[in-house]
Amino acid sequence: MKTPTRAVSTEQHHDHSPAARPLSLNCLSIDVEEYFHAEAAYGRLSPADLAAMQRRAAPFVERIADRLARTGNRATFFVLGAMVEHNAALLRRLSRNGHEIACHGDGHQHLNRLTPQELREDLRAARHRIEDAVGVRLRGYRAPTFSVTRANAWALDVILNEGFEYDASIFPIRHDRYGVPTAPLGPFWAIAPSGARIIEFPPLTLNWRMLRLPVGGGGYLRLLPGAALLRCVAARQRRREPTMIYIHPWELDPDQPRLPLGRLAQWRHRVNLHTTEMKLELLLNNCHFDTAANILNRVATSSTLPSFNLATGQTESAKAC
C-alpha cells in the first residue's frame, strides 16, 4: 500500500526577490522568541517572573529584516504563538516583504513534556493566533528546541494531522536535549508511526571522520569562526545541496538580562553573542537565501530524497518525489 504523503504547496506569495539572483537552496530561519523562552530557563522562572520580563525581541527581528532587505534575501520566520500579541504588525510586514511565516508552537514547550493531545492543542492555538493576526496559511513547523526525536515519533503524526506540509524539527546529531544522530543530513521524508510521511529540513550538520558536527545555528554558529561557517555553506552550494541556518533574535542581543541559570547553561546561552550579527552579515553578503517552503518545493519536485523511519532510526530507501 502506498503511504500517504504531504508535499509542500507550490503556492507563492509576495515574491519580491531580485530577478537577477539565481534560485537558492540556502535557507535562513529565525525562531521568533524571547531570550527567556530558551529551554535552559525552563523551571527556573515562575509565571510571575515571566510576566514581568522585558520583551526585547522585536528590535532585533527588525534588524534582521533590514539586513535581508539590503542584501536581497528572504527568510523563514518560525513564530511562537506567544509572540503574536506584541508583534503582529511586524509579522505582517515580514509577510508582505516576501518572507515566510511558519509555526514554532504556542508556548515553547519541549515535546517530551507534552502528550499527543497537548501537542495538538498547542499547534491549534499557535495556528489560530498566527494565521488570524498575519493573514497567511502556515505550511511549516519547527518544534521548540528541535525536540522531535525517536522518543516522541508520534509527534510527526500530530504535525501531519494538523495540516503542516513540512517539518524542521529533527537535528541529526547527538545532544542531551534533542537530536536523532542517524537521520540524514539533508532534506528527507520522515516516516511517522502511522506510515504517513512529511518532508523534513534539518539544520546544517557535517560529517567529519567519525563525528557529526553541528554547524547551522545557535551556539554552534556563535562558536564557529565566520570564515569557516561561510566555507561550509559555500561547499554545500557548490554541490547544490540544501542548507538550513537558524538563529534567534536574542542571539543578536549581548546586553540581554542574565537568566538564573547554572554555569554550563549560562555559557551555552551567552557564549559569543557579540559575534552573531557580524556572522549573519557575512552570510547575507556572500550567499543567497530563500524561504524553506520555496526550497523544499524545488527539492521535492526535482530530487530523489531518502526516507527515514523516525521510530526505528533507519533510512529505508530513496524515493523519487
What pLDDT was estimated at residue 17?
A: 43
Q: How many residues appear in the chain?
A: 321
**Percent residues over pLDDT 90 in the chain:** 79
pLDDT value, residue 175: 82
* pLDDT tens profile 251-293: 999 999 999 999 999 999 999 999 999 999 999 999 999 999 9
Kindly report the average pLDDT of the chain as a whole number: 91
Looking at residue 12, its pLDDT comes to 42
Complete domains list, the chain, with CATH: 25-320 (3.20.20.370)
State residue 8's pLDDT score.
55
Q: What is the pLDDT of residue 1?
A: 39
| pLDDT of amino acid 316 | 82
pLDDT at 21: 56
Q: Over 50: is that where the pLDDT of 3 sits? A: no
pLDDT in tens, 225-255: 999 999 999 999 899 999 999 999 999 999 9
Residues 6+ apart with CB under 8 A from 41: 259, 260, 261
Residue 26's nearest CA partner among 316, 293, 270, 243 is 243
Q: Which residues contact 122 (CB under 8 A, 6 or more apart)?
A: 81, 105, 106, 107, 109, 114
Q: Supply the pLDDT for residue 43.
A: 87
Q: Enter the C-alpha cell of residue 163.
A: 495540516
Residue 33 pLDDT > 70, yes or no? yes
- Sorting pLDDT into bands at 50, 70 and 90, what band is 318? low
Binning pLDDT at 50, 70 and 90, where does residue 319 land? low
Residues 119-132: tens digit of each pLDDT:
999 999 999 999 99
How many CA atoms, within 13 angstroms, populate the side-chain half-sphere of residue 273? 18
**Does residue 320 surpass a pLDDT of 70?**
no
pLDDT at 300: 87
Mean of pLDDT values over 146-174? 97
Residue labelled with grid coordinates 509527534: 155
What average pLDDT does the segment 76-104 reach? 97
**Rounded Cα distance, 236 and 164, in Å:** 27
